[in-house]
């Protein structure tokens, strides 16, 4: 269960990457930094390459799998990486 926070700043989501089919998925969202570290450790122990992403705001969806804001925050974070470019036809897909 997520700790309740009054401040929506500094919330994180956890995404994991599937290297076989070159896709990502969201594991959880609206996590405090402490929750994110615990959950990230748990996901990585399952053998999944997982990462935290800063959320720009608290997401309204209760479940990460139903959240439309999660992919937008991941995309925003990826665009900040200089070597990242949007997928073109025939390149690896990104899915949520």
pLDDT in tens, 1-55: 454 444 546 999 999 988 888 888 999 999 999 999 999 999 999 988 999 999 9
Tell me the residue ranges of DSSP E strands in the chain.
12-18, 23-31, 50-54
Domain for residue 85, yes or no?
no
Predicted confidence band of residue 93 (pLDDT cuts 50, 70, 90): very low
- Average pLDDT value for residue range 75-81: 85
Neighbours of 57 (CB within 10 A): 11
Q: How many domains in the chain? A: 1
pTM given for the model: 0.73
Domain for residue 48, yes or no?
yes
Domain for residue 39, yes or no?
yes
Q: Supply the range of the domain harboring residue 31.
A: 12-79
Nearest to 78 by CA among 41, 49, 58, 51: 51
Domain for residue 70, yes or no?
yes
């Amino acid at each position: 269960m997520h700790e309740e926070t009054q401040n929506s700043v500094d919330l994180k989501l956890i995404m994991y990457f599937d290297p076989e089919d070159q896709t990502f998925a969201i594991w959880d969202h609206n996590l405090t930094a402490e929750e994110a570290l615990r959950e990230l450790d748990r996901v990585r122990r399952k053998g999944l390459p997982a990462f935290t992403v800063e959320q720009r705001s608290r997401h309204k969806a209760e479940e990460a799998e139903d959240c439309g804001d999660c992919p937008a925050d991941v995309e925003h974070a990826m665009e900040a990486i200089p070597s990242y470019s949007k997928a073109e036809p025939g390149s690896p897909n990104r899915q949520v």
